[in-house]
């Protein structure tokens, strides 16, 4: 890694990737692959599937970095959107792989308890990658904000975020009308936005 | 202002949970609504922050290399390699050149199309960058508009506060003026009442003087013509109420030291109980104690007219007094003096 790359922000990295700068892509991978992979693994519940999806995501980043629109969010937000679309596509092809379709299995996601699946066991070095990006204090604040949400709001957001479930699938999984699900997600997301506005 | 329905759609959109049929309608609305774009941007940022709370798992160590190799493969696939043509036979030598000519034409066409495509792609990228910059500018303008609206709102609030302060000061001033007016009115009324009271006192004093004059005239009427030459030895005195005496009572006495007798006229003495009586006293400064002029027989109207003679000879009687004494009178006056002369 050279000094000029290290001082760049994410948007500048994407501009370099759009100009076919392989080193920029490698650095972008080093910084965000852990979080993207964790998201994909949580949704797909299979390491090979998650690795394959992550590869597709970075190929897509390589090909579409020029189409990145800063107005719609930060580069990581964009990359995360690509990753979650990949996960949704794969789950639509193999819905049996999802372990988040039932209400009883979703509340552990953002807790400190151990994972229900061996494939999702936390990795300390990967956790340190998160703190490099967000910082210890921000990670703590994010966890607190989530824990303080009402359980039904947090559950709906978890299943939508990590499970790749749409509002109708969420309604089926939780046994609630769609209007209730929409209201829970709206209230929960707006609350999180307010609580995290200072650090984002 | 974004309504709840749009907020719910934005939240689901940021989480990727909005169904396709709603996504199209939402994205159409999103393109023309800067506030909604800002909300979606923030909600997407919020959603991406949730990753920090996930259990983190590192990807396989070999994946990075695989991806970089896949990039190479992608680049190589994009560069199409020409296929070797078959060797021409001598009998159809002209046919040998037809495919080459077609290939050359095709290659030229491909080069042309690739060049055109490359140019269009560059233009698209440029347009996209321009669009991004314009969108960024629009967001900045929107932020400026919001700041200006906030500033204007703050200024309006300040003016309202100032107006409220002025109104409060005006009300305080009006109340102060009203208080001063009321105080002045009260003071004038008090001064007016005091003036009326003093006028009443003056009138009362004038009435008293008239009554005293009348009393003296009546007292003089009791003196015979033959005694008038003795008038120089006569002492006239007006008896007025003491501080503890009846306010409306008044009296006058005419005393002749030569004859050792006098005449006393009194009005408005209040009636006494059955065991009490008014008693007249003559005071000579040369004597140690006053000398009784007799018990006074007051009538029911509080008036009397009596002649009196002291118990002993009085050559220097200068003052007269009336006191309340036990029925039948006392040898010395009690402290209850009700009338006295000067």
In a domain, A91, yes or no: yes
Minimal CA separation from A17 to chain B, in Å: 12
Among residues A75, A98, A121, the one where a domain terminates is A98
Residues A152 and A198 in one domain: yes
In a domain, A121, yes or no: no
Q: Which residues in chain B are closer than 8 Å to A129, comparing Cβ atoms?
A: 56, 58
pLDDT at A130: 78
pLDDT > 90? residue B281: yes
In a domain, A105, yes or no: no
Among residues A98, A117, A144, the one where a domain terminates is A98
Please state the pTM of the whole predicted model: 0.48
CATH number at residue A48: 1.10.1740.10
> Mean pLDDT over residues B191-209, rounded?
90
How do residues B20-51 score in pLDDT, each as one tens digit?
889 999 999 998 888 999 899 899 989 988 88
Q: What is the largest CA-CA distance in chain B?
A: 203
Residues A19 and A94 in one domain: yes
What share of chain B in percent tops pLDDT 90?
Answer: 34
How do residues A159-194 score in pLDDT, each as one tens digit?
888 766 788 888 998 899 999 999 999 999 999 999
Burial (CB count within 10 angstroms: exposed 0-12, middle 13-18, buried 19+), residue A19: exposed
In a domain, A158, yes or no: yes
Spatial separation of the C-alpha atoms in residues B186 and B193, rounded to whole Å? 10
In a domain, A126, yes or no: no
Residue A79: pLDDT band by 50, 70, 90 thresholds?
very high
CA distances (Å), origin B205, targets A130, B57, B106, B193, B213: 109, 117, 144, 18, 12
Using DSSP's 3-state secondary structure scheme, residue B260 falls into coil
Residues A24 and A89 in one domain: yes
Structural domain of A186: 135-200
pLDDT at B223: 61
pLDDT > 80? residue B71: yes
- Say yes or no for a CB contact (<8 Å) between B50 and A197: no
* Domains within chain B, CATH numbers bracketed: 222-341 (2.60.40)
> Mean pLDDT over residues B178-199, rounded?
93
Q: CA A5 from chain center: how many Å?
A: 25
Query: Which of B117-154 are b and which e, b meaning 16 or more Cβ less than 10 Å from the residue's Cβ?
Result: eeeeeeeeeeeeeeebeebeeebeeeeeeeeeeeeeee
**Range name among B156-165, B267-276, B308-317 with the lowest pLDDT average:** B156-165
- Say yes or no for a CB contact (<8 Å) between B57 and A71: no
- Cα dihedral across residues B150, B152, B155, B160: positive or negative: negative
Interface probe, candidates B38, B46, B143, chain A, greatest A C-beta count within 10 A = B46
- Say yes or no for a CB contact (<8 Å) between A73 and B125: no
Q: Which residues in chain A are closer than 8 Å to B78, comparing Cβ atoms?
A: none
In a domain, A107, yes or no: no
In a domain, A146, yes or no: yes
pLDDT > 70? residue A124: no
Among residues A70, A98, A126, the one where a domain terminates is A98
pLDDT > 50? residue A137: yes
ipTM for this prediction? 0.81
Count of domains observed in chain A: 2
In a domain, A81, yes or no: yes
């Amino acid at each position: 890694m050279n000094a000029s790359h290290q001082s760049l922000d994410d948007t500048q990295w994407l501009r370099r990737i759009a100009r076919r700068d392989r080193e920029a892509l490698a650095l972008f991978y080093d910084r965000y692959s852990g979080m993207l992979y964790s998201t994909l693994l949580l949704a797909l519940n299979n390491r090979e599937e998650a690795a394959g999806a992550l590869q597709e995501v970075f190929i897509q980043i390589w090909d579409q970095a020029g189409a990145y629109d800063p107005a719609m969010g930060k580069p990581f937000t964009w990359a995360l959107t690509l990753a979650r679309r990949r996960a949704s596509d794969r789950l639509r092809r193999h819905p049996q792989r999802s372990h988040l379709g039932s209400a009883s299995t979703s509340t552990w996601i953002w807790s400190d308890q151990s994972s229900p699946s061996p494939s999702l066991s936390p990795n300390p070095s990967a956790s340190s990658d998160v703190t490099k990006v967000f910082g210890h204090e921000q990670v703590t604040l994010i966890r607190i904000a989530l824990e303080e949400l009402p359980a039904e709001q947090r559950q709906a957001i978890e299943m939508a975020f990590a499970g790749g479930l749409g509002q109708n699938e969420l309604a089926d999984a939780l046994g609630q009308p769609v209007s209730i699900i929409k209201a829970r997600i709206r209230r929960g997301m707006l609350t999180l936005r307010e609580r995290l506005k200072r650090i984002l | 202002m974004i309504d709840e329905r749009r907020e719910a759609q934005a939240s689901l959109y940021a989480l990727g949970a909005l169904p396709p049929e709603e996504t199209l309608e939402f994205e159409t609305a999103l393109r023309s609504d800067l506030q909604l774009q800002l909300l979606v941007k923030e909600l997407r940022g919020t959603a991406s922050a949730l990753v920090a709370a996930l259990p983190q798992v590192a990807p396989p160590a070999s994946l990075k290399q695989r991806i970089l190799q896949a990039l190479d493969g992608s680049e190589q696939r994009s560069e199409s390699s020409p296929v070797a043509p078959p060797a021409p036979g001598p009998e159809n030598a002209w046919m040998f050149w037809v495919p080459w000519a077609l290939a050359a034409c095709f290659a030229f066409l491909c080069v042309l199309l690739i060049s055109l495509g490359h140019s269009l792609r560059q233009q698209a990228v440029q347009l996209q960058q321009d669009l991004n910059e314009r969108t960024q500018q629009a967001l900045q303008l929107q932020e400026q508009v919001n700041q200006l609206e906030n500033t204007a709102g703050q200024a309006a609030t300040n003016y309202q506060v100032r107006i409220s302060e002025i109104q409060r000061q005006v009300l305080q001033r009006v109340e102060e003026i009203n208080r001063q007016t009321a105080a002045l009115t009260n003071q004038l009324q008090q001064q007016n009442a005091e003036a009326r009271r003093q006028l009443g006192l003056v009138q009362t004093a004038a009435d008293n003087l008239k009554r005293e004059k009348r009393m003296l005239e009546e007292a003089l009427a009791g003196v015979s013509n033959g005694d008038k030459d003795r008038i120089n030895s006569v002492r006239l005195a007006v008896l007025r109420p003491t501080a503890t005496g009846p306010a409306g009572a008044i009296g006058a006495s005419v005393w002749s030291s030569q004859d050792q007798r006098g005449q006393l006229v009194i009005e408005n003495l209040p009636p006494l109980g059955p065991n009490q009586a008014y008693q007249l006293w003559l005071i000579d400064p040369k004597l140690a104690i006053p000398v009784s002029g007799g018990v006074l027989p007051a009538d029911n109207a509080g008036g009397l007219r009596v002649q009196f003679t002291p118990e002993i000879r009085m050559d220097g009687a200068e003052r007269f007094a009336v006191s309340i004494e036990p029925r039948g009178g006392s040898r010395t006056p009690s402290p209850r003096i009700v009338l006295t002369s000067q």
